[in-house]
Amino acid sequence: GSYGVEKGLISSFPVRVRGGKWEIVQDLPINDFSRVKIDSSLAELKEEKSLVSELL
């Protein structure tokens, strides 16, 4: 997935829209502070997915 987000998790990404079509903006630099926050959010999403996996 983009920006280290594994397949099956839903997250927001920077996007670009041209002619009514969107694409994820790839390879933007991420500083250490932002990486820590992103990784924390991903860990929380993984935990939440695990908790409800039996309901899916």
Structure confidence by residue, pLDDT tens digits, 5-42: 988 888 899 999 999 999 999 989 999 999 999 999 99
Whether the Cβ atoms of residue 45 and residue 8 lie closer than 8 Å to each other: no
Q: How far is the C-alpha of 5 from the C-alpha of 7, rounded, in Å? A: 7
pLDDT for 54 equals 86
pTM: 0.71
pLDDT over 80 (residue 2): yes
Predicted pLDDT at 1 = 78
Q: Please tell me the predicted confidence (pLDDT) of residue 44.
A: 95
